[in-house]
Structure 1
Amino acid sequence: MKIQEILKDSNYKLSLFNESYIEKLENSIFEKELKNGKAYYIKCMVRNKDIKLTPEEIVRQLYLMQLNEKYGYSFERMQVEYIVNFGREKKRADIVIMDKIQPTVPYIIIEVKKPKLKDGKDQLKSYCNATGATMAVWSNGEQITYYHRKDPNYFEPITNIPTEKQSLRDLLKEKFYIDDLIEKDELKNQKKSLKSIILDMEDEVLSNSGVDVFEEVFKLIFIKLYDELQSTRDRDRMIEFRKYGESDSELKEKIEELFDKAKEKWTGIFKDDEGIDLTPSHLSVSVSSLQNVKLFNSNLDVIDDAFEYLVNKNSKGSKGQYFTPRYVIDMCVKMLNPKEEEYIIDTASGSCGFPIHNVFDVWKKIYNELGIEESHLFTAEKKHARALDYVKEKVFGIDFDKKSVRVARMLNIIAGDGHTNVLNLNSLDYGRWEESTKDENWQDTYFDGWRRLKKLRKNRNSNKEFEFDIVMANPPFAGDIKEGRILARYDLGKKPNGKWQTKVGRDILFIERNLDMLKSGGRMAVVLPQGRFNNSSDKAIRDFIAEKCRILAVVGLHGNVFKPHTGTKTSVLLVQKWDEKLCPKKDDYNIFFATMQKPSKDNSGDKIYVKDENGQNILDDHDHLIVDHDLYNHDGKTEDGIAEAFIEFSKKEKLSFFI
């Protein structure tokens, strides 16, 4: 037998192969006369040319047959002696099955030239790492070993390779559910933040991927939130945003299908034809980075942290508009004490921190009243009808920055189970709102929210005054408004002598705009530059506020609060509009003053977290890190702060919203 003659004195055997394969190969061998005698040849099924038979070539040809007949891979999808580049050095992989979707990318690499397993595995690892192949096979005809390349340093043994009609996931039958994600959550177990994970992704992948980092991370978070939501509401559904052994291109197909489903459920955030711009390999690394992170918690702090970084990095800082740290927002919410029946708006909403945290506060009050316990997956679970009615009808946000509006709409749609009243409008330039509201493209996204907002106008045909119970905002500080047509709509656009000014600080006009949004007796919390409270040139602004409202409180924030974006000293102003019943006008009354003592961030702008006596970060009852501040008591884990002191003050003063 010619095959046995060639194999003698080698370490190769044929016990792995079916007798019919061996017989077929034997019958196709032919001789060629060479200078130094006769040699045995075969016509290679992949290369379609005559190849001299050696022991390793026999094993290779038999394995090619097996891949075709047993596993169903076509010879067109296989390559032999595939060139693998290692810098200037080139090596050749014995057999490569190319990816079905990306035919230029290796899917499985097979090594038969190294008859010893250790040598073969080392060679395979280098080939897989150089090409990104998902699986590897070593065989000497007698033994065979299969590997799944889970990461560059870990090749997991598997029982076989998939057939042409299977994926590796089918073979592994690995299952992963929301309860597994809760158990493996890296944010809890490794006390990481989503921001730090995204920074790592940027360093490793995104910065060299040639894509818009904000857009691609936004898409990934959007998709992952959708996936977690489905698996939270159907605990028998497997998590899909996860690598189960698919090739990079198979994974991209799966993630894009998820994206399409998420866009269908949560409309108005991405265009219908929008896809993922990351390459399959870059997407694969990104999915691996995020797959063990649980985004849904008892609130949306996890996502806030990431978008604070991303949006500021992209655009907001140039406009002097910065994300308000969520602990500052929570202090304001506690101090203004929103009620289920009250309407609230943020006129410079950014990612909608103020409205969303109002929602959480009111929801907790509703759930406490109903005796429903709040879980650590509060944001993902189906909401009570009262909770949904509140977010659908009473919570609004406006911002002129489209990226921020998209983030805000996503967070609101998720928190509100599909409902949002976040609109892309310029709050200050309300005279031109109709240019947007009559535009069909704008209406496609924002019409429902606009219809609800119109109902709150004080005068049916005017966008100047509204009837909100609460306004909360951190308006942009930077830049002056110079357009005369805008300034002419504001009393603060005039000088004390009655003449119109040529320019006015944007935050000054926002003070008046916010007060116009408030009904009589309504209350406002607004973040302002410290200078507005003590500059002699701003006395007219202070007089304007005092004429229209009772000044409830001024809270000085630490200079590090808005770092690293700005070191501007800021204060929070809380007021209540004069009203005969809720807030009768008086000339002499007490005002609450406080100054934040703990910085909450270091000089670089990184948050400082509460630690135990061993220097370990303390987590709250829902596994969130706790920022070290003195604005309020964090769920009993820290001491009472400024908010609690104000609540005590309000009760003594018999303020309407704490009676």
Structure 2
Amino acid sequence: MPDIIAEAEVEIKEGYILDYISGKLVKDSPEEREAVQVFSEILVRDYGYPKEHIQTRPQWRVKVRPSDKKKEYPIDIAVFEDATKTEDNISIIIECKKKNRKDGRSQLEDYLRFSKARMGVWFNGEERFYLVKTEKGGKVLFEEIPNIPQYGQRLEDVGQFTRKDLKPATNLKVIFRTIRNYLAANAVGATRDEIFAQQLINLIFCKIYDERFTKSGDIVTFRAGIDEEDTKVKERIVKLFEKVKKQYSDVIEVADSITLDANSLTYVVGELQNYCLVDSERDAVAEAFEIFIGPSLKGPQGQFFTPRNVVKMIVDMIDPSPDDKIIDPACGSGGFLVEALRYVWNKVEAQGSDLGWPDQEIHSEKQKVAIRNFRGIDKDSFLSKVAKAYMAILGDGRGGVFCENSLDARENWSSATQSEIVYGGFDIVLTNPPFGKKLAIDSEDTLSKYELGHVWKMNDDGKFEKGAMQEKQPPQILFIERCLDLLKPGGKMGIVLLESTFGMPKYRYVVDYLTQRAKINAIVAMPEDLFQPHTHAKTCVVICEKVAEKPKEPYPIFMSEVEWCGHDSRGNPTYRVNAEGKRVLLDDTVNVAAIYHDGRRKK
């Protein structure tokens, strides 16, 4: 449910932002925007604390020393046991200054030392940790803990979650960013992001497996409790991973292991244990890759992971059925395949419910659909391996993902790939091919096999004629042809393309080629923020249908421009307060599919 801001009629002045808790205007600063406001929302949406129990503005103050009657220390966020907000019922202090971890801990300890609060959090937008205060022998001691309790829990309840207690995460990127920065500074025996990414993916698979196979009222296995030894946590997670490997031995290598040191592993588990990754708005695997692999490694290869809300928009527009064979020939970590699988599964469940099928029969049919109808290809061996495991753990879509170069000649693929992926064999293609200024295919062997690998010039009759082979071609252009090759006549394609494909004169031949082989049903212009902060590329989504011959009569094309995509150029969620005083996410993508289908029904 959207949040209600107490002061609805607030004009946001330049240089100010609206405080999430109080509804008051506060000066915009990186600390305020990226730490105070972010964690305030996490406290309410993820931990369940009522806004009435939290104070941000005016700032609560604590003593500097026992004799300090003025209370000289202002704290960023204070959480209380109830709405009275007194010195005696303050429970958690959150400090959000832009310091390093050591200085942040020192300041947080000072705040806690002369306060009645028992717990503290330090969060600077990039890193965070949790402290508990104890007193022994007249001394005040501080100890790091895996997490803070959710609203209504006791401190000792941390890590004692049942499956039904888990909630979708408000902001997965913040969580993964803090994990990444913690590991970079503290992990023993590993320093490279690629290694961290592999370890985190293994842990995400453990988490998803645990979510899928734990009964609603049972305690989850993926947890880290208060006063629990790090070695015990690691022992439990390693056993969980062994179960994952045993059940999915055909897609997760036996040699794969959890190699993080026990302390680092406990930190990761503590950060993730509250959440249900399966139900989160963002694709957990893709979000993890964005943080751990990032533009420094994947950007040069043009591998920008499509935000899940845009993937969902495309899937909703295509409207796949349980009988459709679906492929993503540039599947990355499997985002399109996973979202399409969820969509189709919903249809299977609805059909089974209407027909009175027992739960076991519905489950069996969902498995059949995943195994029979979903295929993916990616040339990156690690990504294809992750996508394969992701599909297996979420939907038992074993054997459907292959490590190949989709643009290669089909005869160069392995026999296993060739037997499963044939030209003209798919009802639906969903994809976001790699793009980037420096990406180009210059192999003569590859270019020679594509119509779009050649130069096309317009003759005096206004028709394009094929000429010599291009010296090089962006892979995204060749993917248009390959995707159409994969489709059956009448098959549908949802593809993310650079907007310049439709706007630059040099690509007019590409548009002509596309309209010769397909009927364009929709073009949705996406905002420049879509793939930021990783790239400024302006893209669009194209929905089309393969045809045997170009339509002779003019036909309508649905055109839409998405102004807001749910995040800004920094990757932060774009929240605003509407006329009713409700805090809502600015995201136009959620409306596009309904408008598109409504227009098609009225034709």
For the 8 Å contact 2:147–2:158, the answer to whether it is kept is no
Match of 1:181 among 165, 171, 180: 165
1:488 deviation in Å? 1.1
Change (3 A) 1:596 1:202: same
**CA distance in structure 2 between the partners assigned to 1:174 and 1:553 by the alignment:** 49
Q: Which amino acid aligns with 1:194?
A: L
Change (3 A) 1:217 1:609: farther
**Is 1:576–2:545 an aligned residue pair?**
yes
Match of 1:122 among 117, 129, 139: 139
Question: What's 2:180 paired with?
Answer: 202
For the 8 Å contact 1:251–1:280, the answer to whether it is kept is yes
1:292 deviation in Å? 1.9
Change (3 A) 1:175 1:324: closer
**CA distance in structure 2 between the partners assigned to 1:304 and 1:353 by the alignment:** 7
Describe how 1:459-498 pairs up with structure 2 within 5 A.
465-478=423-436, 479-496=439-456, 497-498=466-467
Local SS of the residue matching 2:543? strand
Question: What's 1:645 paired with?
Answer: 595
Local SS of the residue matching 1:220? helix
**CA distance in structure 2 between the partners assigned to 1:246 and 1:314 by the alignment:** 37
Gaps of 5+ in 1: 1-116, 130-148, 155-171, 374-379, 439-446, 458-464, 619-626, 633-640, 654-659
Q: Which amino acid aligns with 2:426?
A: F
Change (3 A) 1:388 1:270: closer
**Is 1:214–2:197 an aligned residue pair?**
yes
Describe how 1:350-369 pairs up with structure 2 within 5 A.
350-369=332-351
**CA distance in structure 2 between the partners assigned to 1:588 and 1:153 by the alignment:** 61
Q: Which amino acid aligns with 1:232?
A: K
1:313 deviation in Å? 4.8
1:255 deviation in Å? 1.8
Match of 1:508 among 463, 474, 477: 477
Change (3 A) 1:311 1:349: farther
**CA distance in structure 2 between the partners assigned to 1:484 and 1:535 by the alignment:** 25
Question: What's 2:215 paired with?
Answer: 232
Question: What's 1:253 paired with?
Answer: 235
1:503 deviation in Å? 0.8
**CA distance in structure 2 between the partners assigned to 1:422 and 1:279 by the alignment:** 31
CA displacement 1:568-627 (0-9 Å, x = unmatched): 1111122111148xxx83242222222112253212232324666687756xxxxxxxx5
State the 4+ residue runs in structure 1 displaced beyond 6 angstroms: 151-154, 172-175, 612-616
CA displacement 1:165-201 (0-9 Å, x = unmatched): xxxxxxx99993524633xx4x56xxx4222122222
Describe how 1:42-191 pairs up with structure 2 within 5 A.
120=137, 122=139, 125=141, 150=145, 176-179=160-163, 181-182=165-166, 185=167, 187=168
Local SS of the residue matching 1:532? helix
**CA distance in structure 2 between the partners assigned to 1:616 and 1:308 by the alignment:** 30
Local SS of the residue matching 1:585? coil
Question: What's 1:607 paired with?
Answer: 573
**CA distance in structure 1 between the partners assigned to 2:220 and 2:435 by the alignment:** 47
Question: What's 1:262 paired with?
Answer: 244
1:469 deviation in Å? 0.8
For the 8 Å contact 2:377–2:404, the answer to whether it is kept is yes
**CA distance in structure 2 between the partners assigned to 1:526 and 1:409 by the alignment:** 21
For the 8 Å contact 1:241–1:287, the answer to whether it is kept is yes
**CA distance in structure 1 between the partners assigned to 2:147 and 2:541 by the alignment:** 51
For the 8 Å contact 2:523–2:540, the answer to whether it is kept is yes
Question: What's 2:111 paired with?
Answer: none
CA displacement 1:366-418 (0-9 Å, x = unmatched): 22233379xxxxxx999622222111101111111223223322321122136
For the 8 Å contact 1:344–1:469, the answer to whether it is kept is yes
**CA distance in structure 1 between the partners assigned to 2:571 and 2:146 by the alignment:** 34
**Is 1:598–2:581 an aligned residue pair?**
no
1:315 deviation in Å? 2.9
1:277 deviation in Å? 2.3
**CA distance in structure 2 between the partners assigned to 1:517 and 1:118 by the alignment:** 68
Change (3 A) 1:406 1:577: same
Question: What's 1:3 paired with?
Answer: none
Question: What's 2:401 paired with?
Answer: 422
Question: What's 2:419 paired with?
Answer: 454
Local SS of the residue matching 2:519? strand
Q: Which amino acid aligns with 1:393?
A: R
**Is 1:538–2:516 an aligned residue pair?**
no
For the 8 Å contact 1:399–1:426, the answer to whether it is kept is yes
Q: Which amino acid aligns with 1:178?
A: T
Question: What's 1:26 paired with?
Answer: none
Question: What's 1:285 paired with?
Answer: 267
For the 8 Å contact 2:146–2:224, the answer to whether it is kept is no
For the 8 Å contact 1:426–1:433, the answer to whether it is kept is no
**Is 1:589–2:519 an aligned residue pair?**
no
1:322 deviation in Å? 0.8
Q: Which amino acid aligns with 1:605?
A: G
**Is 1:549–2:518 an aligned residue pair?**
yes
RMSD, aligned α-carbons: 3.3
For the 8 Å contact 2:352–2:362, the answer to whether it is kept is no
**CA distance in structure 2 between the partners assigned to 1:602 and 1:237 by the alignment:** 38
Local SS of the residue matching 1:552? strand
Question: What's 1:390 paired with?
Answer: 369
Change (3 A) 1:300 1:414: farther
For the 8 Å contact 2:163–2:218, the answer to whether it is kept is no
Question: What's 1:461 paired with?
Answer: none
Change (3 A) 1:515 1:207: farther
Question: What's 1:565 paired with?
Answer: 534
Q: TM-score, normalised by structure 2?
A: 0.67
% same residue: 29
**CA distance in structure 2 between the partners assigned to 1:472 and 1:345 by the alignment:** 6
1:510 deviation in Å? 0.5
**Is 1:407–2:382 an aligned residue pair?**
no
Change (3 A) 1:617 1:204: farther
For the 8 Å contact 2:530–2:565, the answer to whether it is kept is yes
For the 8 Å contact 1:227–1:241, the answer to whether it is kept is no
For the 8 Å contact 1:412–1:420, the answer to whether it is kept is no
**CA distance in structure 2 between the partners assigned to 1:382 and 1:204 by the alignment:** 45
Q: Which deviates the most, 641-650 or 348-357? A: 641-650
Question: What's 2:78 paired with?
Answer: none
Change (3 A) 1:610 1:519: farther
